[in-house]
Amino acid sequence: MFKFLVRRLIQLIPVLLGVTILVFSLMHFIPGDPAQVLAGENATQQQIDVITERLGLDDPLPVQYFNYMANLIQLDFGNSITTGQDVGSMMFPRLAITMELAIYSTILSIFLGLVAGILSATKRGTFTDSAIMVIAMFGMSMPNFWLGLLLIQWFALGNIPIIQNFFDTGWFRASGWGNFDQLILPVAMLGISGAAIIARMTRSSMLEVINQDYIRTARAKGVKERYVIYQHALKNALIPVITVVGLSFGGLLGGAVLAETVFAIDGMGRMIFEAITRRDFPVMQGGILIASLCFVLVNLLVDIAYRFVNKRVEVE
């Protein structure tokens, strides 16, 4: 296991290096001039040239990339072109918000998806199975932003005084879940769509495992059905489900742009989106680099989780 972790961590270096090269190159191919954006629409060409020189945008691209990497090695992400703020100080507080949103959404997705998928698989061919799959298909097909707007209209938190009073209690604030009252609707939006995917994957995987010989043998020996489902079948059916959960969680850490935009959450996704519209190169590059790092680390955790779920999986 230790050798596996060391090898995977070493592999992060060329992956992240490739990300920096790709992102840096794409930033200079998209339309728009950061100096023009910063100077304003009525700026003269001389004013634009002064800003371009001050930002170092008149240097050759290899020189700009070398300077960027030299600062990045020192964990200096640079300063925002539009605001002048340090990119790191802008980015990490927003990453914490996005991480909180991703964790809550994933927990909700796993709970709803596993329960629905297991129930659908054990009730195969019944009305319950059909109803769950129809709801799951609806959840997968429904645009997230539309669901978010519906949730705002139907369940605006201020219209639920009992829940609001609970969130305002001192115990809840002291428990570390203090932002959940602001995230409950975006968590529901992302959790429902994620649960639909997990439910379908769990059902498919469970049905494949349930038909295996060792499951029939366990039933023939008189093992209780609940023990057969949760101890034998579910453990072996979780491998593809863990993969889906890991990819989904990694994507959310990269920035749930729609959720953060619809609900005006100041997270990583919204920060990157606004940086793109302003042609703010340092913020774009820093945000995408951190998002890529989070995604790669989540995939590493998924590989490790395989081993804990199924002892027959060799991570080496």
Per residue in 181-214, pLDDT (tens digit) is 567 778 888 888 888 888 888 888 888 888 777 7
* pLDDT at residue 172, rounded to an integer: 46
As a whole number of angstroms, the distance between CA 235 and CA 230 comes to 7
Same domain, 246 and 160: yes
Is 140 in the same domain as 256?
yes
Number of H-type helices and E-type strands within the chain = 16, 0
Please tell me the pTM assigned to this model: 0.76
Under 8 Å between Cβ of 59 and 10: no
Q: Does 169 share its domain with 297? A: yes
Instruction: Quickly state the pLDDT bin for 309 (edges 50, 70, 90).
Output: low
Same domain? 32 vs 144: no
**One-letter amino acid for residue 16 of the chain:** L
Examine residue 267 and state whether it is found in any structural domain, yes or no: yes
Whether 303 and 240 share a structural domain? yes
Q: How confident is the model at residue 9 (pLDDT cuts 50, 70, 90)?
A: confident
Q: How many CA atoms lie within 13 A of 92 on its CB side?
A: 6
Verify that 29 and 124 share a domain, yes or no.
Answer: no
Is residue 64 domain-shared with residue 116, that is, in the same domain? no
Q: CA distances (Å), 243 to each of 16, 238, 249, in order?
A: 21, 9, 10
Q: What φ, ψ does residue 79 adopt, rounded to 5°? A: -115, 145
Domain co-membership, 24 together with 100: no
Task: Specify the pLDDT at position 1.
Answer: 65
Give me the number of domains the chain comprises. 2
Residue 278 has pLDDT above 80, yes or no: no
Whose structure tokens read 């010989």?
Answer: 213
Are residue 230 and residue 125 in the same domain, yes or no? yes
Domain residue limits at 129: 88-309
- Asked if the structure places residue 315 within a domain, the reply is no
**So what's the pLDDT on residue 243?**
82
Establish if 314 belongs to a structural domain. Answer: no
Q: Which residue has the higher pLDDT, 222 or 307?
A: 222
